[in-house]
């Protein structure tokens, strides 16, 4: 392993895919271009769309890596690789995440603190798991010793979203590698640069070549991964419709394992005894983060009637003021950026327009400025029961507020959704907090917090918000298959 060599992070260096330790031209000649959503200027033309032959080649190299030296790496060797990777990223992560900002619209002001810390902590957390994946032993009371081992699946694929491309890629990669697998990653077609820039750092940290590979492209490329007969698992983060297609493709091909982290329409319930300032802080931040382009965004607020007027007045004022924070995402003083591209902007804009006939618009709902994909933070009150903005994920800075009187009433409203990813309950009553959190139909519940996840605990959704779990020990189990060994002690 040599010393770290700085990579040229100019966007025009990333018009290739990364296979077997090298940036190479794709066999497929299909390409696309990307724009910066702050002004819709072209960032790069000629980004490859990986095809069947490219994926076949990636799988070939991945299989060779899985059956090569990587298979004999000790737990300590793996830990050392993760620690070296974390050390490399200590210096290199900020410029790489800044590169991704060019097409994601995520403000660079988030990078030195929230982004960098989250990613580094995740890698160090997983580094400690390499020697802790214990199996089971059952005694020979019936003449057989029973052993259970957790073994890697082999070649896995990660299909990542646009809103947190580097963090999602590194999280999926860490879970796959800790458990001894190899990974082919496909970043979102909207944000491929950072993932491509990160790929060679794995070899520099000591991981063998071919253990991590990156292919680019949109849904068609992801479909090839999902139906490939020699890929054993797909971990996908994205929309429900795409997640369903991936599960179908996995089932119709080789029954590969699938983890799906899909959309959300997260409710936050604010009772009349809540710490009002705390509830405001969490719920406002939960809809403004990444301009609302977050699966766990608290987009449905239920506020007790006794405090509704006070809460709504302050909440609306804060979201109205937040429009002043919109600006150039590459400016370190800017807190809020644009939506990711014109397609997403037009989708959100159209949903807001239809929402005006289904609910009371009290703030926002308009484009900010004359150029780019900026949508002002938006609040609707008292939507009709079947309103689109109330029922469907918007994936923009848009929240809907309803009032309630009783606990039973608000639980019915909060759970009346096909989404079940995140929810929050704000109250000072600990028994109510425990009672309501047990009855909320979501994979994660925050008490006096919302839209927050933790590396040590499983993250994923119920109902159509997903399948399986990521993070913590549960996330590692999703990358292994248990094997039972029966030893006849009387032979």
Q: Which domain holds residue 133?
A: 11-262+465-484
Q: Which of 222, 206, 223, 133 is nearest to 175 (CA)?
A: 133
User: What sign has the CA pseudo-torsion 367, 373, 377, 378?
Assistant: positive
- Polymer length of the chain: 491
The reply to whether 361 and 471 lie within a common domain is no
Site of tokens 């296979």: 19
- For residues 166 and 119, is the Cβ–Cβ distance under 8 A? yes
The reply to whether 443 and 479 lie within a common domain is no
Name the DSSP letter for residue 12.
G
List residues with catalytic annotation: 261
The reply to whether 252 and 272 lie within a common domain is no
Domain-located, residue 2:
no
Separation of alpha carbons 186 and 60, rounded Å:
16
DSSP strand pairing (22-24 vs 31-36): unpaired
Name the DSSP letter for residue 207.
P
| Predicted model pTM | 0.95
The reply to whether 337 and 236 lie within a common domain is no
Looking at residue 2, its pLDDT comes to: 46
The reply to whether 205 and 281 lie within a common domain is no
- 370 Cβ neighbours under 8 A, 6+ residues apart: none
- Average pLDDT for consecutive 10-residue bins of the chain (491 residues)? 64 95 97 97 97 98 98 97 96 93 95 89 96 95 97 98 96 98 98 97 98 97 98 97 97 97 97 98 96 96 98 98 96 96 97 97 95 97 97 97 98 98 98 98 98 95 96 94 97 91
List, for residues 24-64, the tens digit of each pLDDT value.
999 999 999 999 999 999 999 999 999 999 999 999 999 99
The reply to whether 171 and 305 lie within a common domain is no
The reply to whether 196 and 321 lie within a common domain is no
DSSP strand pairing (144-152 vs 398-404): unpaired
Domain-located, residue 382:
yes
The reply to whether 284 and 432 lie within a common domain is yes
List, for residues 301-316, the tens digit of each pLDDT value.
999 999 999 999 999 9
**CATH number reported for the structural domain that contains residue 134 in this entry:** 3.40.605.10
The reply to whether 318 and 345 lie within a common domain is yes
**CATH number reported for the structural domain that contains residue 407 in this entry:** 3.40.309.10
DSSP strand pairing (466-467 vs 257-261): antiparallel
What 3 state SS string does 111-126 have?
Answer: HHHHHHHHHHHHHHHH
In the three-class reduction of DSSP (H, G, I as helix; E, B as strand; rest coil), residue 336 is classed as strand
Domains: count for the chain: 2
The reply to whether 185 and 55 lie within a common domain is yes
The reply to whether 279 and 363 lie within a common domain is yes
Domain-located, residue 145:
yes
Our CA angle for 413, 418, 422, nearest 5°, is 75
Domain-located, residue 217:
yes
Mark residue 302 as left, alpha or beta (left: phi above 0; alpha: psi -120 to 50; beta: remaining): beta
């Amino acid at each position: 392993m040599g010393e770290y060599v700085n990579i040229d992070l100019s966007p025009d260096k990333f018009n290739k895919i990364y296979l077997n330790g090298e940036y190479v031209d794709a066999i497929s000649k299909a390409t696309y271009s990307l724009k910066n959503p702050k002004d819709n200027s072209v960032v790069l033309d000629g980004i490859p769309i990986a095809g069947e032959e490219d994926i076949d080649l990636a799988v070939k190299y991945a299989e060779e890596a899985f059956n090569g030296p990587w298979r004999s790496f000790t737990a300590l060797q793996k830990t050392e690789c993760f620690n070296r990777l974390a050390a490399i990223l200590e210096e290199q992560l900020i410029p790489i995440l800044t590169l991704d900002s060019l097409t994601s619209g995520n403000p660079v002001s988030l990078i030195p603190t929230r982004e960098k810390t989250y990613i580094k902590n995740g890698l160090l957390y997983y580094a400690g798991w390499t020697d802790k994946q214990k199996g089971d032993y059952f005694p020979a009371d019936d003449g057989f010793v029973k052993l259970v081992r957790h073994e890697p699946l082999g070649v896995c694929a990660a299909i990542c979203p646009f809103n947190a491309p580097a963090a999602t890629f590194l999280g999926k990669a860490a879970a796959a590698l800790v458990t001894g697998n190899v990974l082919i990653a496909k970043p979102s077609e909207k944000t491929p640069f950072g993932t491509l820039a990160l790929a060679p750092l794995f070899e520099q940290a000591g991981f063998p070549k071919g253990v991590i590979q990156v292919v680019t492209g949109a849904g068609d490329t992801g479909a090839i991964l999902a139906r490939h007969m020699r890929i054993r698992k797909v971990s996908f983060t994205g929309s429900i419709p795409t997640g369903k297609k991936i599960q179908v493709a996995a089932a119709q091909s080789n029954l590969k394992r699938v983890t799906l982290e899909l959309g959300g329409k997260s409710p936050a319930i604010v009772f009349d005894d809540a710490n009002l300032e705390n509830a405001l802080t969490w719920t406002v931040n939960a809809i403004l983060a990444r301009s609302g382009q977050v699966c766990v965004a608290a987009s449905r607020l239920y506020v007790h009637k006794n405090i509704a007027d006070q809460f709504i007045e302050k909440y609306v004022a804060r979201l109205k003021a937040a429009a002043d924070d919109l600006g150039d995402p590459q400016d370190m003083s800017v807190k809020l950026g644009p939506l990711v591209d014109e397609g997403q902007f037009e989708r959100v804009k159209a949903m807001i327009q239809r929402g005006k006939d289904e609910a009371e618009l009290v703030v926002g709902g308009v484009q900010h400025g004359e150029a780019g994909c900026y949508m002002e933070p938006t609040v609707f009150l008292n939507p009709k029961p079947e309103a689109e903005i109330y029922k469907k994920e918007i994936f923009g800075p848009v929240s809907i507020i309803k009032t309630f009187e009783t606990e039973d009433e608000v639980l019915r409203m909060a759970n009346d959704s096909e989404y079940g990813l995140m929810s929050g309950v704000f109250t000072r009553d600990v028994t109510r907090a425990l009672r309501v959190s047990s009855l909320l139909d979501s994979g994660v519940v925050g008490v006096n917090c919302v839209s927050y996840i933790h590396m040590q605990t499983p993250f994923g959704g119920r109902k159509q918000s997903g399948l399986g779990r990521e993070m913590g020990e549960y996330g590692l189990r999703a990358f292994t298959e248990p094997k039972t060994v029966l030893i006849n002690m009387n032979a």
